[in-house]
Amino acid sequence: MFLTSFLALSLTLISSVNAAPAVAAVGAAVGVGSPVQASRYPIALQANLQIHDPSVIRFNDNYYAFTSGASLPYFKASNMSGPWEYLGTVLKGDSIIPRIGRDDPWAPNVMEYNRLFYCYYSVSRDGTRESSIGVATTPDIEHGPWTDQGEIIATGSGLFSGNYPYSTSNAIDPSVLIDPKDGQAYLAWGSYWTNIWQAPLGPHLMRVENRPAPDAVNLAYDILPGVDNAFLQTYPANREPDGTRPVEGSFMYYRAPWYYLWFSHGQCCNFEAELPPQGDEYSIRVGRSTSIRGPYVDQTGQKLTEGGGTIVYGSNSNGQVYAPGGQGIMSADENNHFDILYYHYSIAVNQSVGLNYDQAQLGYNYIDYVDGWPSVVPGVPATATKTMTAVVMATETSAQSAKHTATAPKPANADPTTTAAPAPAPTAAATAASAATANAGAATGASEAATATARASAGSDPATGAKAAKDNAAPAKSILQTPMSIIVLCMSPLPMAITEIIVC
């Protein structure tokens, strides 16, 4: 009786659960570029939070998301999909670093160590190497207060800025990792110019060891064709004399036995007037090493210091996910095999939705590893869900799916709640685009996740590119090739194990 009733109820869901959800149409072309049309990457899972250069950590079963902006705002949620509660700002006002840009710090990187939380941040003048990295600390991430500890390194001008490698690099986009093998902490930084550098931190994680002459190594360097790619001993503060190298936003991560260097490549923002040529926008790339100090290589064996980098995630879904970057990784918890890749992205559906710097969205995907190389997993894997008891999916043949893709109306957003944050309310068009993204990801991800579970699967000139620029899919595959089929996965809450599969 229960099974009959359950299946009858499942049939009523067919009209609202489609194998191939409608995809928002691409509007008029924006400038010289166009959104990437390919469905090579799965669509972003919606976190329902406007954010740029995110840093997200999990602590006591809650998620805390930090963003670029005045005094470094941050938010809290019990789930990555929100809703998010605005907690305030890290800094009480401007940064204590005496530099232009102190009122609008960038790219926070947050970590916890020995019951103290560290928020590393950047202060910079747009389009230059006039930059510093600072840090603030607190013993209480939720209530604060945070103490601004000031500057760690400076480039362009300031203390020791004429010393190598400060004289060649740009002190923004900090990332800190403590080597699990020996406990030594390292700071990575860099954007454009000579790209990504790394140096050891002192024992309190608030100063670079031997700051005047640090034991620094270059981790990533973009190679430009037809020019002399040798490092100069010093670079102008406001231009790159031999061409731009759009590598920035590094994130160091360890998952045994490999150290990973994640980074963003391409133009991060400033898309309001025109899009860059296809492929020149942000994408998320990675290299790996057996040592935290490198050298890091991509999947082909190319060194990151020689222009290498494996693309893990890029623009997709007809502009619904455009220029993802500013990424980070959250490691799997005790109930989850999959790490989380999070990032910001723009929406390039038309000229008026989601292209402004402050309209960037927080997105995320689960990642698994194949021979030690990270790969984005479509949707939400079963083992990443703590309380799912049943999943019902309707699938059709490829031809019928294609028909629904072209004609079916967008399903209503399943979660009508909105972010509890003081950020400006999105426009109606932006809300519609976000809803389309969320629903497309949910349906596509559910189809892919069900398949995997059933198989028992465990930037341009620096003045206009990168951070400096902020001011100036194919039909879903049918699981069964029948006119209509329903798959019901009955699962126990923990662990997530399939107990029955029913096909009608």
Number of C-beta neighbours around residue 502 at 10 A: 13
53 part of the active site: yes
Peptide bond between residue 42 and the one before it cis (omega within 30 degrees of 0)? no
Among 398, 395, 397, 369, residue whose Cα is nearest residue 381: 369
- The per-residue DSSP string of 147-192 comes to EEEEEEEEESSSTTTTSTTTTTS---S-EEEE-TTT--EEEEE-BS
**Given its phi and psi angles, is residue 319 left (phi above 0), alpha (psi -120 to 50 degrees) or beta?**
left
The residue from 104, 173, 222, 248 that is catalytic is 248
Q: Hey, is 130 helix, strand or coil?
A: coil
Q: Residue 214 burial (CB < 10 Å; 0-12/13-18/19+)?
A: buried
Q: Residue 182 burial (CB < 10 Å; 0-12/13-18/19+)?
A: exposed
The residue from 53, 126, 130, 396 that is catalytic is 53
Q: Over the range 85-95, which residues count as b (16 or more CB within 10 Å of their CB) and which as e?
A: eebbbbbeebb
Among 463, 426, 459, residue whose Cα is nearest residue 349: 426
Among 223, 168, 218, residue whose Cα is nearest residue 196: 218
Please tell me the number of Cα atoms within 13 Å of 431 on its side-chain side.
Answer: 12
151 part of the active site: no
The residue ranges of DSSP E strands in 331-405, in sequence order, are 339-346, 361-370, 373-377, 390-395
Question: Which residues does the annotation mark as catalytic?
Answer: 53, 248
